[in-house]
């Protein structure tokens, strides 16, 4: 195999330089297990990897040439995207969804009537969708969310207005996050409003906390004022803290009290870190660690509203990168990657981008760029989201001014311009209080 020939050349060059696989991986900013697969011919590598290895191993253009020869020696595979376009079916979003339909569903939540589902069944639906959010590309998840939302008005007609409002809150959060993932910030803004309004009408303090906490953390990736987001996060914390005369129970809201408080503290930590308020951000991280001590759960089956350890470490890592503590960031982010299930592709990619940002902050510009580029290149397009590119953009923003002329920086900037998720249109007709991001 041509791939094996390049891998053999890479291994021989590394051994001649007296470097271990892990040492070379550290220098070029690639995962050592990935390099191992390249050397064994199980992965093709890339031109960028070959160039980096040539530089670190002092092999001139030997590896770059070997890689180019390996590519010429094998037939050009059809790109997955092109193969997909040959199929007669359109993308699920285009086939089953539009923002206009979503908007009609949103207004219909209080106008239509039908057969109600048992409360336990609705709770199971929300839990399943929360897991699907972490394991399903957003373009495929949106039609399923819409189908369930069309059935929700029946809950109000069945006389369960509080239950109805909490369900609308939870599903609206999922819709808002999914639309944001697809770059539809205007439509998402309408659904954030719906989640807060529904939560407030339910009388459930935890539902109110959940809506505000998620809106605050979701807003960090957009252009909303940080002061506005901090107000939402502070309200989320206050609403999540037990009140003696409060009538609500934690069982009525997905994630329970600990999950709502965890989201509130996480949102507060992220906003404060972005504002540069180090002491307050670390205090919020400490609060997050306190409320998640007993909520680790099963990493494999955790959903959006759960707080397994890798998710907590991910927040810690982002705060470390934001505040300029790369050494601490390495520790918590490596631990997060150890714990994060292999199937959580986007979550793992976002964690690696935070690690890349720590490398940049630490002055390891080449390694940081190499890691970030690998993440964006290797992750299949259907998993590319607004959140992913927000993390990737923060890597670019950490490039020191004197390094901006690097060819790798220009290549990375060009890669950031792709944003394939913007091509997954969900229609038009949505508007919001803030402009499209």
User: Residue 155 has what pLDDT?
Assistant: 52
Q: Please indicate whether residue 105 or residue 155 has the higher confidence score (pLDDT).
A: 105
Comparing 27-31, 47-51, 135-139, the range with the smallest average pLDDT is: 27-31
User: Residue 339 has what pLDDT?
Assistant: 94
User: Residue 84 has what pLDDT?
Assistant: 32
**Rounded distance between C-alpha atoms, residue 152 and residue 134, angstroms:** 23
Mean pLDDT over the full length of the chain: 82
Token pair belonging to 162: 């509080």
**Rounded distance between C-alpha atoms, residue 191 and residue 169, angstroms:** 9
Q: Please indicate whether residue 277 or residue 431 has the higher confidence score (pLDDT).
A: 277
Cβ neighbours for 394, distance < 8 A, ≥ 6 positions apart: 321, 353, 357
User: Residue 321 has what pLDDT?
Assistant: 96
User: Residue 296 has what pLDDT?
Assistant: 55
What length is written for the chain?
437
What band does 432 get if pLDDT is binned at 50, 70 and 90? very low
Give the residue-averaged pLDDT of 315-327.
Answer: 96
The number of CA neighbours under 13 Å toward the Cβ of 29 is 29
* pLDDT one-digit tens code per residue, 220-251: 988 889 999 999 999 999 999 987 655 555 55
The number of CA neighbours under 13 Å toward the Cβ of 66 is 26
Contact 182, 382 (CB under 8 A): no
Contact 263, 217 (CB under 8 A): yes
Map 223-284 to HEC letters: CCCHHHHHHHHHHHHHHHCCCCCCCCCHHHCCCHHHHHHHHHHHHHHHHHHHHCCHHHHHHH
CB atoms within 10 A of CB 2: 17
What band does 399 get if pLDDT is binned at 50, 70 and 90? very high
User: Residue 127 has what pLDDT?
Assistant: 87
**Rounded distance between C-alpha atoms, residue 301 and residue 390, angstroms:** 26
* pLDDT one-digit tens code per residue, 349-361: 999 999 999 999 9
- Residue 425 predicted with pLDDT over 60: no
Domains and CATH numbers, the chain: 2-72 (1.10.260.40), 98-197 (no CATH)
What band does 265 get if pLDDT is binned at 50, 70 and 90? very high
Nearest in space to 423 (alpha carbons), one of 385, 394, 387? 385
CB atoms within 10 A of CB 395: 27
CA-based max dimension of the chain: 76
Give the residue-averaged pLDDT of 354-370.
Answer: 95
* pLDDT one-digit tens code per residue, 36-92: 778 888 777 777 788 888 988 999 999 989 888 887 765 443 333 333 333 333 444
Contact 161, 191 (CB under 8 A): no
Give the residue-averaged pLDDT of 330-351.
Answer: 94
CA distances from 170 to 44, 291, 413 (A): 43, 21, 36
Give the residue-averaged pLDDT of 332-338.
Answer: 95
- Residue 283 predicted with pLDDT over 70: yes
User: Residue 332 has what pLDDT?
Assistant: 96
Distance of CA 1 to the CA centre of its chain: 36
Q: Please indicate whether residue 12 or residue 250 has the higher confidence score (pLDDT).
A: 12
User: Residue 274 has what pLDDT?
Assistant: 96
The number of CA neighbours under 13 Å toward the Cβ of 246 is 16
Nearest in space to 48 (alpha carbons), one of 359, 366, 362? 366
Map 329-392 to HEC letters: HHHHHHHHHHHCCCCCHHHHHHHHHHHHHHHHHCCCHHHHHHHHHHHHHHCCHHHCCHHHHHHH
């Amino acid at each position: 195999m041509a791939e094996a020939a390049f891998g053999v050349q890479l291994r021989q060059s590394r051994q001649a330089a007296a470097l271990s696989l892990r040492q070379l991986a550290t220098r070029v900013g690639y995962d050592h297990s990935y390099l191992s697969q390249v050397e064994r011919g199980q992965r093709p590598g890339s031109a960028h990897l070959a160039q980096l290895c040539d530089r670190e191993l002092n092999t001139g253009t030997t590896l770059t040439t070997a890689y180019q020869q390996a590519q010429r020696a094998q037939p050009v595979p059809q790109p997955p995207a092109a193969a997909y376009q040959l199929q007669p079916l359109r993308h699920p979003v285009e086939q089953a969804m539009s923002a206009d339909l979503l908007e009609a569903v949103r207004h219909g939540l209080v106008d239509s009537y039908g057969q109600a589902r048992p409360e336990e069944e609705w709770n199971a639906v929300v839990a399943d969708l929360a897991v699907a959010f972490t394991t399903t590309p957003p373009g495929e998840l949106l039609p399923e969310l819409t189908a369930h939302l069309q059935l929700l008005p029946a809950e109000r007609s069945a006389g369960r207005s509080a239950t109805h409002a909490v369900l609308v809150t939870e599903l609206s959060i999922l819709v808002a996050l999914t639309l944001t993932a697809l770059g539809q910030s205007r439509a998402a803004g309408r659904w954030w409003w719906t989640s807060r309004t529904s939560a407030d009408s339910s009388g459930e303090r935890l539902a109110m906390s959940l809506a505000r906490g998620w809106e605050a953390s979701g807003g960090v990736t957009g252009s909303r004022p940080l002061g506005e987001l901090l107000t939402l996060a502070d309200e989320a914390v206050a609403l999540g803290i037990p009140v003696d005369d409060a009538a609500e129970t934690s069982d009525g809201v997905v994630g329970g009290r600990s999950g709502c408080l965890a989201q509130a503290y996480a949102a507060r930590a992220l906003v404060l870190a972005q504002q540069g308020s180090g002491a307050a951000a670390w205090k919020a991280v400490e609060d997050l660690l306190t409320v998640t001590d007993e909520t680790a759960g099963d990493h494999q089956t955790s959903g959006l509203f759960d707080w397994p350890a890798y998710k907590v470490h991910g927040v810690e890592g982002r705060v470390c990168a934001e505040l300029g503590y790369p050494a601490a960031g390495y520790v918590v982010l490596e631990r997060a990657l150890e714990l994060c299930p292999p199937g959580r592709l986007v979550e793992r990619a976002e964690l690696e981008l935070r690690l890349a940002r720590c490398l940049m902050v630490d002055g390891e510009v080449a390694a940081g760029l190499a890691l970030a580029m690998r993440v964006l290149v290797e992750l299949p397009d259907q998993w590319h989201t607004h959140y992913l590119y927000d993390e990737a953009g923060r890597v670019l923003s950490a490039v020191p001014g004197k390094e901006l002329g690097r060819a790798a920086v220009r290549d990375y900037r060009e890669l950031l311009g792709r944003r394939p998720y913007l091509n997954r249109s969900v229609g038009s007709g949505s508007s919001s209080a803030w402009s499209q991001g």
